[in-house]
Amino acid sequence: MRIVKILIICAILAGCNSPKIAYDYDQNTNFSKYSTYALFPEFNTGLSQLDEQRLIRALDNAMPQKDFATADNPGIYVNAYTEKYQQESNNSLGLGVGSGGGGVGVGVSGGIPLGSSKTFLRLTLDFIDKNRDSLVWQAIIDIKFNPNASPEDRQALFDKVVQKALEGYPPKK
């Protein structure tokens, strides 16, 4: 019984930092025709220069696993942009005081937030058909982001995010 409790706790904790991903794509696109890529000419993610280089490294490592090669005249452009946002802790401590008598009751309550807010990173990854100048596939990934993480941890995060995003490519129709 103790093992079951430990496994449930581990599963809950592991789920807390897993990326949340949404996919969208053009249903009329034949994705098997794409085999080459390049970064979008105006590639500007909104990340720091170092984090942007980490993201590019993660893309360069992951794209060949999807049978893509870099090219000067690619089939698709890859674009990425990010947004950082704060989310307040959902945990709070509730306090209440009440009094009553003679059929009349009065109560006052309030909540005290526990824990601090968390920083999240939303990465949007776009595949743009170069010839049609049209968005054909998109992944939006939300993940907890530690701005004080070490460079190695940041690279590992970008590697994980890009791998998870590309699990949805090509889309299953």
User: What domains are defined for the chain?
Assistant: 19-84+117-168 (3.30.160.670)
Phi, psi of 172 (to 5 degrees): -90, 115
Query: Taking each helix axis from N to C terminus, what angle separates 151-166 and 49-62, rounded to the nearest 10 degrees?
Result: 40
Strands (E), the chain: 20-25, 36-39, 69-70, 76-87, 92-101, 104-113, 118-129, 134-144
Omega cis (within 30) before 170? yes
Cα distance between the two ends of the chain: 42
Question: Band of the pLDDT at 136, cuts 50, 70, 90?
Answer: very high
Is the pLDDT score of 113 beyond 90? no
Contacts of 2 (CB under 8 A, 6+ apart): none
pTM of the model: 0.74
Omega cis (within 30) before 113? no
CB-based contact 16:164 (threshold 8 Å): no
Give me the chain's average pLDDT, please. 85
Question: Band of the pLDDT at 25, cuts 50, 70, 90?
Answer: very high
